[in-house]
Amino acid sequence: MAQVLTMPNLFNFVVRDGNGVKGMVDAGLSKVPRAYLQPPQERIDKDAARKHGQPPIDLSKLDGPKHDQVAEQIVRAAESLGFFQVVNHGVPVEILESLKDTAHDFFSMSPKKKQFTARKIKKVSLEYLRTSMSMEVIRKIEEDSEFEKKGEWVEIPPVPGALVINVGDMIQIISNGKYKSAEHRIAPLPQVVEKDGQALYREFVLADYMKNFFGNAHDGKKSLDFATINAA
């Protein structure tokens, strides 16, 4: 008989116990839990999505006279869509393919084995996050006059060998809303708040954010409401 999973034990089973989505499948669930269903208004209509015609950003030009131009392209993409592709990034295709194979092998492991592996690579992961700033991507525009009306879906066709850069919730928060999230202790960077004059997001512990993110039904970017400071 399929296992019955409801809130909050769904959160414990998937996140805290490390079973993930694969664990739900292995448990014999016959349908997707309500918490993992997007509301009708948030679902992607690929046929109605507009193609995103911007070319990928060539990172090799960062080392030449067009450095400032490329940097501006990156900033503009992060401020508007929150998604962009980069080429000539220096990462061999063989490594990208190996990464996908390794990810598949990792998620095929048991929860106990995955937790051990996560602890083992924690130091490397943190170092990567400290130094760091193909699939089809469809991104919902929140607001930007250049990309027409709010709430429109835009399809970003994949470019062979390109990397897709996604500005996540954490980057939107630490940039105080300057860079847009595409659908520890963290807060807006002090220098950004000083420049903007007002903090848009409160300080919080990452574990609390993730608990809120996984513990509630998905609804667009409402996860950001958890960190938003309400205007007086």
Going by C-alpha positions, the residue among 62, 80, 81 that lies closest to residue 71 is 62
- Per-residue pLDDT tens digits of the chain, which is 232 residues long: 445 555 567 777 777 777 777 777 787 877 777 777 767 766 666 666 666 677 899 999 999 999 999 999 999 888 887 888 999 999 998 998 898 898 888 878 777 777 766 666 666 665 655 555 433 444 444 444 344 445 566 777 778 889 888 888 888 888 888 888 876 444 565 666 677 777 787 777 666 777 777 777 666 667 788 778 874 4
Contact by Cβ (8 Å): 18, 110? no
State the residue for tokens 């940097």: 71
Q: CA-to-CA distance for 105 and 25, rounded, in angstroms?
A: 16
Say what the pTM is. 0.57
Strand order across the 83-87 sheet: 57-58, 83-87, 163-166
Token pair in block for residue 118: 């996560």
